[in-house]
Amino acid sequence: MPELPDLEVLAENLDKLTGGKKIKKVVVLKDKPVQPLPPAEFISFVEGKIIKSVKRTGKQQLFTFDDGNTLLVHLMLHGELHYLQAAEPLPAYAVAAFYFAENKVLVFKDHTQWLKLRLNTQGESVMDPVTKKFTLQFFRKLIQDKPKNAVKEILLNQENITGIGSAYADEICYNAKIRPQACAGDLEEKDIKLLFHAVVDTLKDAVRKIKKGMAGNITGEFTEHFAVHGKKKGKCPLGHKLETVKVGGRGSEYCPICQK
Ligand SMILES: [Zn+2]
């Protein structure tokens, strides 16, 4: 599942690939992603528009057209984007495609069809942890309001903060030297500060690394920078053996020596 850093780099790369380009033709292969609009209405709205910019907003990609109208794309759990030559056959499970004048096509693909394409709608208004609005004061209140929750559960709650999934929650906990299953009520002020800074630094650092790793691509995932997540029975960067635990139903990796 793409998390905030992946989506941030995706928006940048999409902007570079499609910004300034005119959408010559739109094809909708599955109705569900454009509902409740009938596909014909979606097509006639988007065709002929020029993409001015693409930016991330929460977990969504916001396309702004030259006439001020917008398209919000939510990849959900399994959505993928592909930027191909127009002459190539569309990949399996393509749900929609935008053809550009430059003989290129942007393909929206999702075998579950959960991917959402929405015209002129606002994105979610949940706290974005890489904006200035995300403060220690805000974060301290989240921790103090849920003293019985595990730290990772608070980080994962999409009603609190947008874009942190299981992978980055594990990475944030490792960087803060706090176990994902640690009880929020047991954190001292210095731990809350460490965790707050780990949220911001881990996500921003990941954006830099993914940018390098993805090299302008919009398809695929880059996870080589992970210190602990997904390294079941592996080792932390200091060579200690990792342990796994279930937190809020999610498999979690942590280092029993580095994290308390
Ligand atoms: Zn360790």
For residue 258, how far is its CA from the centre of ligand 1 (angstroms)?
4
Has residue 247 got a pLDDT over 90? yes
Q: What domain range includes position 65?
A: 4-119
- Output the CA 222–ligand 1 centroid distance in Å: 23
**What average pLDDT does the segment 110-116 reach?**
97
Q: How confident is the model at residue 258 (pLDDT cuts 50, 70, 90)?
A: very high
One domain, residues 93 and 154: no
CA of 136 to the centre of ligand 1 (A): 26
CA distance linking residue 33 with residue 190, whole number of Å? 45
pLDDT of residue 1: 82
The whole model's pTM is what?
A: 0.95
Confirm whether 103 is domain-assigned. Answer: yes
> What pLDDT shows up at residue 231?
82
Quick: pLDDT tens for 227-237. 999 987 799 99
Position 219 pLDDT exceeds 90: yes
Cα→Cα distances 155→88, 123, 130, 149, Å: 41, 20, 14, 10
Q: How far is the CA of 229 from the centre of ligand 1 (A)?
A: 13
Span 92-118, mean pLDDT? 97
Residue 115 lies in a domain: yes
Q: Kindly give the distance from the C-alpha atom of residue 254 to the centroid of ligand 1, in angstroms, as a whole number.
A: 8
Q: How far is CA 197 from the centre of its chain?
A: 19
How many A from CA of 40 to the centre of ligand 1? 56
Task: Say whether both 104 and 199 belong to one domain.
Answer: no
In this prediction, residue 123 has a pLDDT band, given cuts at 50, 70 and 90, of confident
Ligand 1 center from residue 241 Cα (angstroms) = 7
Residue 217: which CATH number?
1.10.8.50
The Cα 168–Cα 152 span in angstroms is: 10
Out of 91, 119, 147, a domain closes at: 119
Q: How far is the CA of 134 from the centre of ligand 1 (A)?
A: 28
Residue at 259 is within a domain:
no
pLDDT digits (tens, 9 = 90+) for 179-208: 999 999 999 999 999 999 999 999 999 999
Whether 96 and 174 share a structural domain: no
Cα-to-centroid distance, 154 and ligand 1 (Å): 23
Look at residue 48 and tell me if it is in a domain.
yes
Total domain count, the chain: 2
| Centroid of ligand 1 to alpha carbon of 235 (angstroms) | 7
CA–centroid distance, 156 to ligand 1, in Å, is 23
Q: What is the mean pLDDT of the chain?
A: 96
Supply the Cα-derived Rg of the chain in whole angstroms.
20
Locate 151 and state its tokens. 């730290």
